[in-house]
Amino acid sequence: MKTIADAQIWATQLLTEAGVDRAARESEILLADCMRADRIYLMARPERVMDRESWEQFQGWLERRAQREPLAYITGKRWFYGLELTVAPGALIPRPETELLVECFLNWQSTKPFPLVHNGNLTEGVHQETPCLLDAGTGSGCIAIACLLNAPRWQGIGIDSSSDALKIARLNRERYGLSKRLELRRARWLETMEPHSIDALLSNPPYVRYEEWETLEPEVRDWEPLDALVADRQDPLRAYRELIEGAKHALKPEGLIAFEVGVSTAQEVAQIMATRGFTPQVEHDLQGLPRVLWSIAP
Ligand code: GLN
């Protein structure tokens, strides 16, 4: 039987040989998860002998990781905006840069006066509808869930064309007790939306160009859903065009439209927004790259 220290040395070597970056750190995360312990425990008790069940699970996980399956698909979870979310191969793994889209929404909604609230109750005689956000291409549900948990007056709709993604989104919705506030719907972009029915449209659509996708790390290229990641081959801006057209129809006046973009698409998406009457503003990620484009509907 192996000690924690032996297991870690073995795993780090295996992952290094498989070409995994940060092999020691990943070994530690996988080992801690198998042992249902935290990393501090591993550091404090390197001499402890692993029980058979944990060791077998660890070996299985290591084999998968050595095939370059993403860590998050193996452990089944990923942190996003301070929330631990369930992830699985049917949906994109939430990325840290997508948190900027959540922040963009939260900043904007904090400046909105609705609904009128007085001492925690709706002001008497004043009727205000609950504002509604739409997360188009919701995947794991990460954007909608992070927004709703931080904007308690809002409700939301998450749409996705993939029923596998929606299953994962449902798990996350239940996990955070949002079944009454978040509707999940199978649809293509904004096709099913009523006119002027939403106050904010958020989306992280597939924007990686096919040529770029071929050069990505195996974790992304070989394991994450192509439909969630790669833009239309003939018309890479198609998703944005459909979303912007849909927004003209579904968004209320002065509503928010906000998209995640890639470096290679930011300029062109801004142009499409501008030609459809929006005034795009850009937010940069921590690497200084354009990552979110947003605008208020006229
Ligand atoms: N940022 C992601 C990546 O580069 C792409 C996400 C997307 O296509 N929406 O892997």
The atom of ligand 1 lying closest to the CA of 224 is: 10
Q: Whose CA is nearest to atom 5 of ligand 1?
A: 229
Pairing of strands 155-160, 132-136: parallel
Lookup: tokens for 136 = 């188009």
What global pTM score does this model have?
0.93
**Distance of alpha carbon 186 from alpha carbon 293, whole angstroms:** 25
Quick check: bond before 298 cis, omega within 30?
A: no
pLDDT at 298: 87
pLDDT tens-digit series, residues 28-86: 999 999 999 998 999 999 999 999 999 999 999 999 999 999 999 999 999 999 999 99
166 pLDDT exceeds 70?
yes
- Report CA(208)–ligand 1 centroid distance (Å): 6
pLDDT tens-digit series, residues 107-121: 999 988 765 544 455
- Catalogue the E-assigned strands of 128-250: 132-136, 155-160, 182-186, 198-203
Lookup: tokens for 295 = 């605008």
Q: Phi and psi of 77, rounded to 5°?
A: -155, 160
**Distance of alpha carbon 157 from alpha carbon 214, whole angstroms:** 33
Q: Whose CA is nearest to atom 9 of ligand 1?
A: 206
| Residues within a 6 A CB radius of ligand 1 | 95, 204-208, 220, 229, 260
Lookup: tokens for 135 = 């997360």
Lookup: tokens for 112 = 């909105």
The atom of ligand 1 lying closest to the CA of 98 is: 1
Lookup: tokens for 186 = 């199978």
CATH class as words, domain 81-296: alpha beta
Q: Which residue is associated with the tokens 């948990």?
A: 149
Assign 178 a pLDDT band (cuts: 50, 70, 90). very high
The atom of ligand 1 lying closest to the CA of 207 is: 8
Q: Whose CA is nearest to atom 4 of ligand 1?
A: 208
The atom of ligand 1 lying closest to the CA of 205 is: 9
pLDDT at 117: 47
Domain ranges for the chain: 4-67, 81-296
